Amino acid sequence: MRTIIIILCTLCCLHAQAQLPPIFNRSAETTTITRQYLSPVRILWQAGRITQPENLLKPGNGQADLVGKNVSAFRPDGSTQASILLDFGTELHGGLQLVTGMWPGNQPVKLRIRFGESASEAMSDIDTLQGATNDHAMRDMTVAVPWLGKLEIGNTGFRFVRIDVADNAPLLLLKEARAIFSYRNIPYLGSFRCSDTVLNKIWLTGAYTVHLNMQEYLWDGIKRDRLVWVGDLHPETSAISAVFGYNEVVPRSLDLVRNITPLPGWMNGISTYSMWWVIIHRDWYRHHGNLRYLREQKAYLLPLLKHIASYIDENNSEKLDGHRFLDWPSSENPEGVHAGLQAMMIWSLQAGAELCRVLQEPAAAASCDSAVNRLRRHVPDPNHSKQAAALMALSGLARPGEMDSSIISVNGAENFSTFYGYYMLQAMARAGNYQGAMDAIRSYWGAMLNLGATTFWEDFNLQWVPGAGRIDELPRPGEKDIHADYGAYCYKGLRHSLCHGWAAGPTPWLTEHVLGIQVAAPGCRKIRIRPHLGDLQFAEGTFPTPYGLVKVRHEKNTAGQVKTSVNAPRGVTIIR
């Protein structure tokens, strides 16, 4: 009898599947993006005649109704149309849901919607004065909202939304204006906490910055450019390994760029970005130990390494073509760029040799080693470039202590950049200057937090700070607009991205050097614990491995000695 029931149930399930509409049988891409609806937390500005605007701050349900309670009424006030600026409290990726009520005439009402990563961006016009654009994502648009209905619009990075009644409608009844928050619903497995609350906030802000950029692919920014830039990926993938562990967005993005860049082309048109692809694969394999995935790269990796090594001249100097690029702030220093490129070739070929040995390709590994030995015979002058000095220290082309004391640490975090700041911090650690690196994190990334940042920016300069207002307030008379008044190259003024994944370097750095957690064998089979507390009294946290979480706590006693406790999952060997 039980067998008959099972057979009947199976036949019913098969019959139900056979009756599905044909659309469900199509091959379609699925995503793992979650949508959450968030009400604004405050009204930053308003104009015209708006009755009960505070209703928009109440939790909503996304449903229009016939009751008509808890609505905000927007009416013109003479020549002034009703307008409001909403603050959602933190940077988000997604759009806006508008739920309307019933007004006389039953006709749609046109609204102008402006998204902004800063308050001033949401108040701006698209013009040539302050750099506001609709590049890559629409952030300024006019739409018609239905009578007694709902409209969802927008797909960008924002914290603020300005709503203007754009036509001569005598009345708009708005029940809800909620953010549509689109993100990967994944746990924060890694953690960091210490005796300095500023460092705690910086670690978490870097993690959140990368989290927002983990969309269908791993982007550089959620407003701009929303692209897979391979150089940007290295700080991001370092943070992902430290915070989230394995996530499919990384191989998905690495494979995308590989597949659209046939050799001898450079990824994203930039030679260093193909080199970053090699370094990322080395680091990803170290952390996750997926040999099967690494083998999938072999057919592309081996000729790429040969291609990189072919750009050495008779004087053992790099002669790279394509866009000769480290980061934007260093781009006007050709001597520094040359030194950085020389170091990048060494670093990437070292990583390539390591991968070739894992792949049991000794001839390719030896070829990489030979190229590295040639490149070491030419030591360029970094020409005071902190970017180049950092790469030279990390690649072994120059002594870390010399690069740190003579260039990187000069004037503290002055002339740091959000992208290469990570490598400057890494070079300072290589030089043993852990305290200096922690101080730089506090002053540079901490300054963005002091200006209202909830994610880290595409670029930042400490010289922008004096006299500047916060991004979560409208500029006051005589106050600099930190978003509109600064920026250069591709990020002038309001075009500047205020959520850029390459700025998250302090997150993996604090995990690696303050918590002291370093991967010592592929797949995290061995973890080295070497904490550096500097002026901290304690530090504790967790680190995701393929076997589970490693948990550490370091505490300094009255004599300045650090006591460490470690809890590791089975399969992970701890090295002190």
So what's the pLDDT on residue 548?
98
Distances (CA, A) of 550 to 200, 239, 315, 506, 529: 19, 16, 47, 20, 10
Q: Beta-strand (E) ranges in 101-204?
A: 109-116, 140-145, 150-165, 172-184, 191-194
Query: At residue 446, does pLDDT exceed 90?
Result: yes
**pLDDT band at residue 5 using 50, 70 and 90 as cut-offs:** very low
Positive or negative: CA dihedral 98, 101, 103, 107: positive
So what's the pLDDT on residue 28?
66
Query: At residue 50, does pLDDT exceed 50?
Result: yes
**pLDDT band at residue 22 using 50, 70 and 90 as cut-offs:** confident
Q: Express each pLDDT in 344-391 by its tens digit.
A: 999 999 999 999 999 999 999 999 999 999 999 999 999 999 999 999
Mean pLDDT of 10-28: 60
So what's the pLDDT on residue 166?
86
Identity of the amino acid at 142: T
Domain boundaries, the chain: 33-184, 526-575
CA distance 540 to 552: 5
For 82, residues 6+ apart whose C-beta sits below 8 A from its C-beta are: 46, 47, 48, 49, 50, 74, 75, 76, 164, 165, 172
Identity of the amino acid at 56: L
In the chain, the percentage of residues whose pLDDT exceeds 70 is: 96
CA distance 37 to 180: 5
Peptide bond into 466 cis (omega under 30): no
- For all residues of the chain together, what is the average pLDDT? 94
Three-state SS sequence of 36-57: EEECCCEEEEEECEEECHHHHH
Distances (CA, A) of 565 to 514, 539, 557: 14, 11, 14
Three-state SS sequence of 54-106: HHHHCCCCCCCCCCCCCCEEEECECCECCEEEEEEEEEEEEEEEEEECCCCCC
Mean pLDDT of 307-332: 97
Q: Express each pLDDT in 393-415 by its tens digit.
A: 999 999 999 999 999 999 999 99
Domain 33-184 grouped into CATH 2.60.120.260: yes
For 549, residues 6+ apart whose C-beta sits below 8 A from its C-beta are: 189, 542, 543, 569
Query: At residue 18, does pLDDT exceed 60?
Result: no
DSSP 239-287: HHHHHT---THHHHHHHHHHHT--TTSPGGGBHHHHHHHHHHHHHHHHH
So what's the pLDDT on residue 12?
46
Q: Express each pLDDT in 224-256 by its tens digit.
A: 999 999 999 999 999 999 999 999 999 999 999
Positive or negative: CA dihedral 434, 438, 439, 445: positive
Of 106, 111, 131, 112, the residue nearest 121 (C-alpha): 131
CA distance 551 to 567: 5
CA distance 402 to 367: 30
Q: Express each pLDDT in 75-96 by its tens digit.
A: 988 778 899 999 999 999 999 9
